Amino acid sequence: MISRIEGTLTQINDQYALVRSGGLSYEVLLPSALADRLKSNGKVGSEISFETIYYIEAGDRKSNHYPRLVGFTDPVDREFFNLFTQVPGLGVKKALKSLVLPISEIAAAIETKESGSLKRLPGVGGRLADKIIAELHGKTAKFALARNAEPLAAAKPPSHPFMDEALEILQQLQYSVPEAREMMEKAVKAHPRIDKAEDLISHIFKSASQAKGSS
């Protein structure tokens, strides 16, 4: 069992990090919002410690199995995730994408049997929400008291080709994924008829210019 990795964070994207430790590099799967925060905070090249969960992922063929690591910077997050993924039908990768609400809100929904909140999680429909409550009710009260208000996974905006193109442009301009998504969501909300990347970038520019002018 590998429960913690300490070393140098050498690479990070929206799905995993590479940590060099003792001459070896370990690939650690991360929730997307955590990955974004580490990237935005300039942690690449710095020393880091991940609280990890070791599991075996089945490949396309029954005989193929691959060892994987999932990492968190907070042991409370790791403990909740370990409990969360014990629900049948809620695999590691689905769970990583689903945590778009802070774990305190997810735990509170489980303890109050508020299935509506759980249905908002990506990949969690009504049947799975009910199963989560049935399996975990009474086991997550302490997590509902967690003070960390940041979600572990980033909620994706509606999938439109022009938004993906605009996101790529903003990333090239050194904006982080969370910053870019926030700007795009505000622009689309204010101008719902936008359907081209260049128009979206233009509206984002105008909003930024107006904000600078009023400050």
pLDDT digits 0-9 by tens, 77-128: 999 999 999 999 899 989 999 999 999 999 999 999 999 999 989 989 889 9
More confident residue, 148 or 184: 184
CATH 2.40.50.140 corresponds to the domain 1-73: yes
Which candidate, 21, 130, 10, 146, places its Cα nearest to that of 81? 146
**pTM, entire model:** 0.70
Count the neighbouring beta carbons within 10 Å of the beta carbon of residue 120: 15
CATH 3.40.50.1100 corresponds to the domain 79-152: no
Domain ranges of the chain: 1-73, 79-152, 161-214
pLDDT digits 0-9 by tens, 154-176: 876 555 778 888 988 998 888 88
Question: Residues 102, 108: contact at Cβ < 8 Å?
Answer: no
